[in-house]
Amino acid sequence: MAEQDVKDAFKNLSKEKKEIDASKKLKVAIIGTGWIAEAHIEEYKKMPDVEMVAMADLIDGKAEAFAQRFGVENVKFYKDHKDLIDHEKDLDLVSVCTYNQTHAECAVYALDHGVNVILEKPMCVTMEEAAEIMKAEKRSGKILSIGFQPRFDPNMKQIKKIVQSGMLGKIYYIQTGGGRRVGIPFPYGTSFLEQKTAGIGSMGDIGCYSLDMVLNAVGYPKPLTVTGYTSNFFGTNPNYAGYVQSGHEDYAKIFNVEDFAAGFVRLEGDIILDFRISWAMNMDTTGDTIILGTEGGLKIPSAECYNGSFDRPLKIFHNIAGNPVETEVPLSTEPEAAFYDKIRSVLDAIKEGGKTPISSAEIIYNQAIIDGIIESAKIGKEITITVPEI
């Protein structure tokens, strides 16, 4: 393949936007009206076929204030997910925007009551919960889509297209992860910092995106074994730069999730996955993502992959007539609408009887790697990953 052909192969990835039939409205609710719920409500407000009917939050008055802030009227308010689902009988869809520790109970309760679910990432905290969610999905026959919006980003789609084109040959090694130097998140409180709300730290917040990026590109092979490491030297230190700069040194006392994690994972198909993620470290980056194949290699610039934003092009390392060459794949100029598409894709699937956009059958492997890293780190040796068949 000549260099220009390589570039042309990944053009025209943008899709036509469809007309939305607003004659029948879907009844939608939001469970958990914190930070990410803001992105959900912004997108729902753009959908002419959505009627926002209810919101719930454990914190008294929070859902009411949220609705007011976003100018949403005629919604009912509830004290938690059960209260909302028990009282709203004709719901079509809920967005579960709660912290990680309540993902499973909210998703299972909604599915068991016949309601389709957009579940924020990470899927949940433990493999037991992941299995319970998948069982509920199966019994209900409803749609459950996990909230990885980068799947809809044009640059992220290019990665999968490049790998799936076969031009890299057999993939045998992947390095991914990345992270931040000073980036433990607490813009809206401490729900990311504690076991009782977050359950998992940097892996649940940003690591799961890096894993999804590469696993989705290579077709979500099953993870087989993992050697994992986790630490929290920064989050537990009152002198951590992020605390000192914001006057939150007291957060060091409550921090009890991981702020750094690494895993060496064997995947089905003889692929090695070398992964690390950081909320805080004494380094600028843990490196770019690289996907090595027998015919070519793909370099993906280290990025905050929650929004798919790269500031440098992808680079393919390959050979032409015996000469090693490097081909840059230009960044997409398509306007970003990943979060809109994450929600739209579920609404369309409900209306058209389509397939779930981001399926639990894939994301359970993502969860299994996170869970495996935590378990392996606890006992200090490699473990076999067991993924329940559901």
Q: What CA–CA distance (Å, rounded) separates 146 from 357?
A: 8
Shorter beta-carbon distance to ligand NAD: residue 137 or 313: 137
Q: Which residue number is nearest to ligand NAD in terms of Cβ?
A: 34
φ and ψ at residue 140, rounded to 5 degrees: -80, -30
Shorter beta-carbon distance to ligand NAD: residue 32 or 357: 32
Contact yes or no for 53/84 (Cβ under 8 A): no
Q: What CA–CA distance (Å, rounded) separates 101 from 126?
A: 9
Joined tokens for residue 304: 């905050």
Shorter beta-carbon distance to ligand NAD: residue 36 or 292: 36
Q: How near is the Cβ of 38 to ligand NAD at its closest, in Å?
A: 8
Q: Which residues of 330-343 are buried (b: 16+ CB within 10 A; e: fewer)?
A: ebbeeebbbbbbbb
Shorter beta-carbon distance to ligand NAD: residue 188 or 233: 188
Shorter beta-carbon distance to ligand NAD: residue 204 or 297: 204
Q: What CA–CA distance (Å, rounded) separates 119 from 28?
A: 13
Q: How near is the Cβ of 146 to ligand NAD at its closest, in Å?
A: 10
Q: How near is the Cβ of 167 to ligand NAD at its closest, in Å?
A: 31
Q: How near is the Cβ of 12 to ligand NAD at its closest, in Å?
A: 27
Which helix or strand (DSSP H or E) is residue 137 part of?
A: helix 127-140
The residue with tokens 């393919």 is 316
User: Is the dihedral angle over the CA atoms 246, 191, 122, 107 positive or is it negative?
Assistant: negative
Q: How near is the Cβ of 132 to ligand NAD at its closest, in Å?
A: 15
Distances (CA, A) of 339 to 21, 40, 154: 20, 8, 12
Residues that bind ligand NAD (CB under 6 A): 31-37, 56-59, 62, 80-81, 97-100, 102, 106, 120-121, 147, 149, 188-189, 191, 204-205, 306
Region of residue 104 (left: phi > 0; alpha: psi -120 to 50; beta: else): alpha
Amino acid letter, residue 63 = A
Q: How near is the Cβ of 272 to ligand NAD at its closest, in Å?
A: 27
Q: How near is the Cβ of 100 to ligand NAD at its closest, in Å?
A: 5
Q: How near is the Cβ of 6 to ligand NAD at its closest, in Å?
A: 31
Shorter beta-carbon distance to ligand NAD: residue 175 or 230: 230
Percent of the chain as helix, strand, coil, to the nearest 5:
35, 25, 45
Shorter beta-carbon distance to ligand NAD: residue 318 or 344: 344
Shorter beta-carbon distance to ligand NAD: residue 10 or 209: 209
Contact yes or no for 81/31 (Cβ under 8 A): yes
Shorter beta-carbon distance to ligand NAD: residue 97 or 226: 97
Joined tokens for residue 86: 């028990």
The residue among 177, 161, 381, 371 whose CA lies nearest residue 279 is 177
SS3 230: strand
Q: How near is the Cβ of 357 to ligand NAD at its closest, in Å?
A: 14
